[in-house]
Amino acid sequence: MFKMYGIPNCDTVKKARKSLEEKGLDYEFFNFKKEVPTSEMLKRWENFFGELPANKRGPTFRKIKESYEAGNKAAQEKLLLENLSAIKRPILEKKGKVIAIGFDIEVYETL
């Protein structure tokens, strides 16, 4: 079973969820508005993404950009965990392994 992390009203998350549902794939949804990811999750996503998964184009990130860029890694993680809308989404995993960060239609078509 897949696990998707995101915010339900995000358009990109909606596209990703629709893609899974059209394929009849079961998934569990981790709602950033109701649950807080752990620092271990952030580290797992960072290992896949190559950096902390900050949604640098989003309005929430723009509000924290100066503090984020001025901070060390611990401060950056703390900012993301305090501003969950600043995490890039959706994040899709299977059995604890990251498959995609963001909605990449080519990746979702291969599922």
- What does 30-68 look like in DSSP terms, one character per residue? EETTT----HHHHHHHHHHHSS--B-TTSHHHHHHHHHH
Which is it for strands 2-6 and 27-31: parallel, antiparallel or unpaired? parallel
Output the pLDDT for position 50: 96
pLDDT tens for each residue of 44-53: 999 999 999 9
Output the pLDDT for position 59: 95
Output the pLDDT for position 71: 96
Output the pLDDT for position 110: 92
CATH class given for the domain over 2-109:
alpha beta
Output the pLDDT for position 5: 98
Q: Which residues are catalytic?
A: 10
Which pLDDT band, with edges at 50, 70 and 90, does 43 fall under? Answer: very high
pLDDT tens for each residue of 6-23: 999 999 999 999 999 999
Coil vs helix vs strand at 101: strand
Q: Give Cβ neighbours of residue 101 (< 8 Å, ≥ 6 apart).
A: 45, 48, 49, 53, 88, 89, 90, 91, 92
Average pLDDT of the residues in 57-73: 96
Percent of the chain residues topping a pLDDT of 70: 100
